[in-house]
Amino acid sequence: MVGSATGASSGSGSQGVIYPPDEPTAKKLSTEEKIELSNRAENSSTLLAAKNLLKQRMAEDMKSYPSEEDFWKNSGCSGSDCGRSNFFNSSWSIAWGFTAALHTLAPQAEGAGRSDLHALNAQRAFWIVTVVCVPLALLQGVSAKVLTFLGQDPALCALAQPFAIRLIPRLFVEGYFTILQRMGQAMGHASAVAALTFVGCAGAPIFLWLFVDQLGLGYLGAAWACTAWTVVNMFALAIFMFLQRGPGRGRSLFVPYKPFRHVFSWQGFREYLELAIPSTLHACLEWWAMDLGVMLAAGLLLHPDLNLGANAVVSCVADICYMMWLGVQGATSIAVGTHIGAGRAKAAQRTIRISVMMGLCGAAVVSLGIILGRHTIAAALDESPDVQAKAADAMLVLAVHVFPDSVNCVLGGALRGMGRQSRGVQFQFAGFYLLGMPLCVLLLHQYRADPFGLASLWLAVVCAVTTSSLCCAVYISRADWDSVISEARARNS
């Protein structure tokens, strides 16, 4: 199969790619040789070296595929999953966390009647996020070395790095978009913000069709498409916010705050970072364990290309579900923060209870849909039958995972609205790193060669999320609300 496929490619001469010689079996490469080949691919100006590297590294595995085209489709999926997971967990999760301070500052200022602080908070957030994103963007330039150091296949890492690099513009644009989104929600424009976001996302298939198919950019086109529709979302929301009228609204968000030195005051930066750093850790501890941790563990299972492809499918479904809980989380943090800013503790507690019930009801519907449609979902997201089978098995665990995940996400929003992000960090660490990660390592060694190995990794995630959500629920039920309101008043005085 390898010989015929490579011979056909070489004979056509259209690609200009030199493949390994046709041999009954490929020479097995040592770890040092794999790393050396990965470095050569990284230094190449094109992806041809990475493709040849992957062919050499996995020549024996190619025999299990009907054709060379099927092999590259599966490898592209695995490479993009590595790149996506690395980008979102090493860069975007941190940038997103630094915008999450606005989950506290914006609604509490609105509730306290201090809408004049919106421009100050927004512009300070813009500068902080920009500074934070610069080193995060540079990190993507060495992502192949980082992933290889973490035990991932060097060949797949060579494909993952170009994908992550092409997401760098999105890092900055998405950060600015999120800031505008937080401000719009706090000002009572949640429906308009959601509508604009939906319109932008509805155009995502068009961008994918343009970059992947029409421009022929392959799996790298998906990264460019993500950046393109994020730019459209950001500019649409910026225009909407600019046209608003009222104190602290409209063009005042974009015109330099007066006096401008207040934007860069040490006290203001300290107040922002006291909320932003715990918010970042709160988000990252969960995302790193769920996405990056499971992805790395899946790459250590037997047949890493298939398991990474299946994990990409499961992660995609989990991310879609998480977006639903994030919507409820955002509404919870805005409502709770507004009530606390206005000094209404009872209303804040009632909002939290309603939000948790909404999350659980949504989780019940989603869980049923996953159980009944897991095979159809897997077939829609990947063409490989082996990947579909592994993904369908793991999605049974995902159907259970959505319940504690919805509660944990909603209660995390409540903690941000209260300004108690530091407590959330403690609970996330206890759930994911004192319980979840050790359990994941144990299951990895136990079921490395088992067909249900990927499902067992997601079972560890379920245990971690359940622990974290229970800790959050106990803390909020026993919180000192008078102290929370006093802190909010001091913050907006």
Task: Please name the residues in contact with 292: beta carbons below 8 A apart, sequence gap of 6 or more.
Answer: 85, 86, 89, 90
Peptide bond into 107 cis (omega under 30): no
pLDDT of residue 132: 95
Return the amino acid letter for 485: I
Tokens (6 digits) for 280: 């970042």
The three-point CA angle 128-129-134 to 5° equals: 105
Query: Do residues 392 and 378 touch, judged by C-beta distance below 8 A?
Result: yes
Question: C-alpha 373: how far from its chain's center?
Answer: 24
**DSSP-derived secondary structure letter, 291:** I
pLDDT of residue 262: 82
Query: Do residues 186 and 335 touch, judged by C-beta distance below 8 A?
Result: no
pLDDT of residue 19: 40
Task: Give the integer Cα–Cα distance in Å for 56 and 38.
Answer: 11
CB atoms within 10 A of CB 185: 24
Task: Give the integer Cα–Cα distance in Å for 250 and 267.
Answer: 26
Task: Give the integer Cα–Cα distance in Å for 329 and 206.
Answer: 29
The three-point CA angle 292-88-301 to 5° equals: 25
- CB neighbour class for 43 (10 Å; exposed up to 12, middle 13-18, buried from 19): exposed
Task: Give the integer Cα–Cα distance in Å for 456 and 393.
Answer: 10
pLDDT of residue 72: 41
pLDDT of residue 88: 82
pLDDT of residue 57: 47
Query: Do residues 96 and 326 touch, judged by C-beta distance below 8 A?
Result: no
Task: Give the integer Cα–Cα distance in Å for 323 and 321.
Answer: 5
Q: How many residues does the chain have?
A: 493
Return the amino acid letter for 152: Q
Task: Give the integer Cα–Cα distance in Å for 417 and 378.
Answer: 37
25: three-class secondary structure by DSSP? coil
pLDDT of the chain along its 493 residues, tens only? 334 333 333 343 434 444 444 434 444 555 455 555 555 544 444 445 555 554 554 444 444 444 444 444 444 556 676 777 778 878 888 999 999 999 999 999 999 888 888 889 999 999 999 999 999 999 988 888 888 887 777 777 777 888 888 899 999 999 999 999 999 988 888 888 888 888 877 888 888 888 887 887 777 888 888 888 889 899 999 999 998 887 777 778 888 877 778 888 888 899 999 999 999 998 888 888 877 677 677 777 777 778 888 888 898 899 899 989 988 998 999 999 999 999 999 999 999 999 999 999 999 999 999 999 999 999 998 888 888 998 999 999 999 999 999 999 999 999 999 999 999 999 999 999 999 888 888 887 777 666 677 888 899 999 999 999 999 999 999 999 999 999 999 888 7
CA dihedral (84, 85, 88, 91) positive or negative: negative
Task: Give the integer Cα–Cα distance in Å for 388 and 306.
Answer: 9
Q: 30 — alpha (psi -120 to 50), left (phi > 0) or beta? A: beta
For residue 361, the surrounding DSSP H or E stretch is helix 345-381
In 88-116, which ranges are continuous DSSP H helix? 93-99, 102-111
Query: Do residues 148 and 35 touch, judged by C-beta distance below 8 A?
Result: yes
CB atoms within 10 A of CB 192: 16
